[in-house]
Every structure is written in C-alpha cells, then in structure tokens.
Structure 1
Amino acid sequence: MTTIGWDAGSWTHEPAATRIDGDDLLVTAVESSDAWRNTSYGFVHDTEHALLTPMPAESAVEVDFVAEFSQQFDQAGVFLRADAEHWVKAGVEFADGAPQVGAVVTWPHSDWSVSPVPGWLGRTVTVRASRSGDAVTIRAGVDGELALVRVLPVPPDASLSAGPLVCAPTRAGLTIRFTGWRIGDPDGSLHP
C-alpha cells in the first residue's frame, strides 16, 4: 500500500476545521453533516465531509481513524463516490448508544447495515474498500484484523473517487483523528 498525503484530495464539502497534528489529520465536522438518500426517512442529505482522490478499477483504499464517538450518528470511515446518487460510505457509526460497524450503499436509494462493535470505541479502526471486477469488498477491524463487512456490486466502468469520511448529523464539535490513508492492490480473493 502507498500512503496518500492529506493534501492530495478534494473535499466534497468543507469541514468546520482541519488541522495536521504530526502525521495525523484532525477533522471537525459541521453540525448536520451527513450522506443519505430517501429510503425510510424521506430526505436527501448531501453534506458529508469526504476527502477524495480517484480510485481506479482493480485497486483498494484503506483509511485509519480513532473511533472517538459519543453522540447519535457520529461517524467516520471511507467514502466512495461516483456522483451525487451513486456512493458508498463504510466505517463506524455511533447509533443507539453503541459504536456500530457498517455500510450505506446508495445506488440511487440508500440502504444501511450495521453490527455492534463496543470494543472498538477509543481504538484505531481500519476500513478497507477493495475494488475488483464488478464488486467492492468492504472490510474493517482493529489491530490489523480485518473482517468482511459487505460485498456490493459496482459497474466495472464506474468512475469512483475514495477517501476519508466524517459526518456529525446531530451535533457540532465532532473531531475525528485520521491516522492513515493508503491505496494499493485489491484483495486477492473474497475469502482468505
């Protein structure tokens, strides 16, 4: 994997603040920032903070961040974007009192899948999106132990950009420490 510099990407929407701290990037989200389209809630939110660079076919992107969450729907992870109606966010979201690993796939309506990961709170989480053929495989974990989160279809000719994501749908003041951003070869297979 090759490290991507924090100055390499462009924000989908400017965060409230960013600051370099050593090798890390601290990002403070704007209150009410989020990414969602229609399903169940009936609204469209296109205000996420995602720092994106191109993600070619047959590549993988990894993002590391410290999972410091305390408010409903605080979230951080990786964002893959084709356009305003076709995107994926995957990572950790604080929902119903606990950190949850999951993904939202919007193509063009959003869905949502989560699973509780209480032991991840306060730890450095890695989220990996691996693109190969007609699929993206999402894996996430701590301490280098990544587990399968989701496999989703993506057209092989889709033009994607990807990178770190932070959103704070219900409050001001959420700051996330990103500790790594890398690009490299896709996973060799779906199963080890």
Structure 2
Amino acid sequence: MSSNTPFTLEANPGTDIWRKPPTTNVWNAPISRTSTGLLKKFQSARVTFWASWTERYDQAGLLLVPRSATSTPPTTEAPEKWVKTGIEFYENQPQLSTVGCDRWADWSVSPLTRAVDPEQGVTLEARREGDENGRSVWVYQLVLDKSGEVVERLPLREICWILADEDEEQVLDVSPLVARPERNTTSQLSVEFKEFSVVWD
C-alpha cells in the first residue's frame, strides 16, 4: 500500500494509545487507512506529516499492531501488543517519540536534531532488518533531499520482540496515527499527512 496523496486526520481531546501499570489501558485514538498483511512479509512503513502542536502529548506518526491471523482487527478493544512512533509534543516542543507495548508500554523521547520545514514535514520509517544476532524492526527519522530521496537514516530505536512470533501466521496492522490525550481543551488536533506507505514482500 502506498499513497503520496496528502490527507488530513483529526483527533478529539482525550484520545490516546497508552498502557501504564497498575490500571491505565487507553485505546481510543481514531484508527483508519489501515494496511494489513502477514507479519513475516512486512518490509517497511513510512509516513510524512506535520501539525500545529499545542497541547501536551499531541502526537502523530505510525501505529503497528501484530495480532493472530484468526483475530479481528483492533477497534475499541486494546490489543495485547503494539508499537507507535512519530512526533509527540512534550515539554513544550515537538519531539521524536517511540512507544513499544508488550504487556505494559515503555516510552523513549528525543529532541529533533534537524530543523523541520512545516511545509515538508518530518518523515519516519519502521523497517525490517537483520544481522548475525537475529531480526528486528528499526525505527528511523529519514533525512530526504529535495527530490525525496533518502540521504540519511537517523536511528531512533530497535524493537526486537515484534518479529518474535512471525512464523506463527501472525498479521500486522499498520496505520497512520493521530491522538490528542489532553482533555482540558475543546479543539481537535489536525494532522496533515503527505505520505503513508507500507511495503509487503
């Protein structure tokens, strides 16, 4: 699945994807435009986007949800495992963010080291990789030239568990992500996506 046609997604206040002990388990962000395939055939997913970030934890990017091939796609029920990566508005600035959830969620956040032109947006990629130690999904911020070619991949995080069960006919749901966890506002978060593409083998 590949789309270079820009589109806009919106999230209402109080929407999020997050799980924190002992009892927090939120799964109410709007999910759409999902691309689904066998996990073992997943190669990469890329998204380019930007927004007017104003509220703490405003977020957008990619969402990856592995699940059994016999299960139904996640809707209102929180799945057991998931990964989200993109931009999150934290400490009054947009920052690179990746969250992996396997039982409970963890979170890594780092500052944008390259200036972002709002007209061009930021591009994130999750891609299958492997070496002598095994296989994993690496998350990168991509630096593109004016023609859209990748000139540099800035590594953000390696996620190993997501491919652990790929030989058991697992599928993967890949979606663009948008959420606005802040409840004390009445406005929606509007995110312009310039690209959302998924490559399956």
Question: Which whole-Å CA distance do the structure 2 matches of 1:47 and 1:70 have between them?
Answer: 20
Paired residues, number: 167
1:24 aligns with 2:2: no
Q: 1:120 maps to which residue?
A: 116
Q: Percent identity?
A: 27
1:160 aligned onto 2:142: no
Question: Aligned residue for 1:60?
Answer: 44
Give runs of aligned pairs for residues 6-17 of structure 1, distance below 5 A. Answer: none
Partner amino acid for 2:127? S
Mapping of 1:78-157 within 5 angstroms? Answer: 78-83=62-67, 84-117=79-112, 119-120=115-116, 122=118, 123-132=120-129, 134-143=135-144, 144=150, 145-153=152-160, 154=162, 155=164, 156-157=166-167
Compare relative contact order (CA 8 Å, sep 6+) and give the higher one, 1 or 2: 2
Kept in 1: contact 2:19–2:105 (CA 8 A): yes
Unmatched tracts of structure 2, length 5 or more: 68-78, 145-149
TM-superposed CA distance for 1:141, in Å, is: 3.7
1:63/1:163 contact within 8 Å kept: no
Displacement of 1:67 after TM fit? Answer: 3.9
SS of residue in 2 equivalent to 1:87 = strand
Q: Deviations over 1:33-78 (max 9, x none)?
A: 1001124x74111012233211442410111112431211111000
1:43 aligns with 2:29: no
- Whole-Å separation in 2 of the counterparts to 1:185 and 1:146: 20
Give distance in 2, aligned partners of 1:96 and 1:88: 22
Task: Give the superposition deviation at 1:135.
Answer: 1.3
Q: CA RMSD in A?
A: 2.3
The aligned counterpart of 1:189 is: none
Further displaced range: 53-62 or 71-80: 53-62
Match of 2:189 in 1: 174
Distance 2:25 2:181 in 1: 12
Q: How big is the shift at 1:179?
A: 0.7
Q: What TM-score, normalized by structure 1, do the two folds share?
A: 0.77
Give the deviation of 1:85 after TM superposition. 1.6
TM-score in terms of structure 2 length: 0.74
Inter-partner Cα distance in structure 2 for 1:68 and 1:162 = 24
Q: Which amino acid aligns with 2:100?
A: V
